[in-house]
């Protein structure tokens, strides 16, 4: 599903941030991406989201080389991925429903289909009935679940989470992780960037560890 082949990323100011990174996530796999800050975690995520391009090497997502994607086709690649953020990145002046519906509206789904899928996604994350609330009226854990519903509503083959439990207490974190495992069970590939060691150790999943731009465990 996601393959890194000899990926290098160099910035003019800081030099090589990623050096010869290789890994292959199979469909339905969950992996933690970890490492000290500055090790290159966020660069890996940026490369996958095509916010940045690799200096060398290939990244293949769902059979497509990201380096060959034209700028105007980037939005279509992003629709194959659901992104989840530490700070949720919700639209504060829109209702929960509108926030979750955004990817579907963008992809051009009809009104009824949008409505049906948004309800299904909110049901999965346990927020059915809160469609009309604004994000600020929700707790941190609930906001994160809105973010997750938005990430999965379009049924992407891959979910990418950047410190999804960073702002949550251990109990809520465990709940979110359980949710991820449910998505894994239906074939979604999930990559979670995190430095929550205790959480990573508790869960028995693959770990990709970066150290100064190199993959040391993977």
Residues that bind another protein (CB under 8 A): 27, 49, 51, 62-64, 69, 72-73, 75-80, 83, 89-91, 102-111, 113, 123-126, 150, 154-157, 175, 178-179, 182-183, 185-188
Q: Is 58 or 175 the residue whose CB approaches another protein more closely?
A: 175
- Least spacing, CB of residue 135 vs another protein, in Å: 12
Q: Is 15 or 72 the residue whose CB approaches another protein more closely?
A: 72
Residue 131, both tokens: 């469609």
Q: Is 15 or 63 the residue whose CB approaches another protein more closely?
A: 63
CB within 8 A of 187, min separation 6: which ones? 27, 28, 157
- Least spacing, CB of residue 211 vs another protein, in Å: 24
- Least spacing, CB of residue 35 vs another protein, in Å: 20
Q: How many angstroms from the chain centroid is the CA of residue 82? A: 5
- Least spacing, CB of residue 216 vs another protein, in Å: 27
Q: Is 19 or 147 the residue whose CB approaches another protein more closely?
A: 147
Distance CA 142, CA 126 (A): 9
DSSP secondary structure, 148-210, as one string: HHHHHTT--SEEEEESTTTTS-HHHHHHHHHHHHHHHHTT-EEEEE---HHHHHHS--EEEEE
Q: Is 123 or 211 the residue whose CB approaches another protein more closely?
A: 123
Q: How many angstroms from the chain centroid is the CA of residue 209? A: 17
């Amino acid at each position: 599903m996601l393959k890194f082949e000899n990926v290098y990323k160099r910035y003019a100011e800081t030099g090589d941030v990623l050096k010869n990174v290789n890994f292959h996530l199979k469909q339905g796999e969950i992996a933690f991406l970890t490492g000290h800050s500055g090790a290159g975690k966020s660069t890996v995520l940026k490369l996958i989201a095509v916010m940045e391009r690799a200096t060398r090497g290939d990244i293949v997502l769902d059979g497509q080389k990201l380096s060959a994607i034209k700028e105007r086709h980037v939005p279509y690649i992003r629709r194959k991925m659901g992104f989840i953020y530490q700070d949720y990145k919700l639209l504060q002046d829109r209702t929960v429903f509108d926030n979750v519906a955004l990817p579907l509206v963008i992809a051009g789904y009809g009104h009824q289909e949008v409505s049906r899928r948004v309800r299904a996604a909110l049901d999965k994350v346990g927020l059915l009935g809160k469609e009309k609330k604004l994000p600020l009226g929700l707790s941190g854990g609930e906001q994160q679940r809105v973010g997750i519903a938005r990430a999965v509503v379009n049924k992407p083959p891959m979910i990418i989470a950047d410190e999804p439990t960073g702002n949550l207490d251990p109990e809520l974190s465990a709940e979110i992780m359980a949710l991820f495992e449910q998505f894994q069970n239906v074939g979604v590939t999930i990559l979670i960037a995190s430095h929550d060691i205790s959480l990573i150790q508790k869960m028995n999943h693959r770990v990709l560890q970066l150290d100064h731009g190199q993959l040391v465990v993977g």
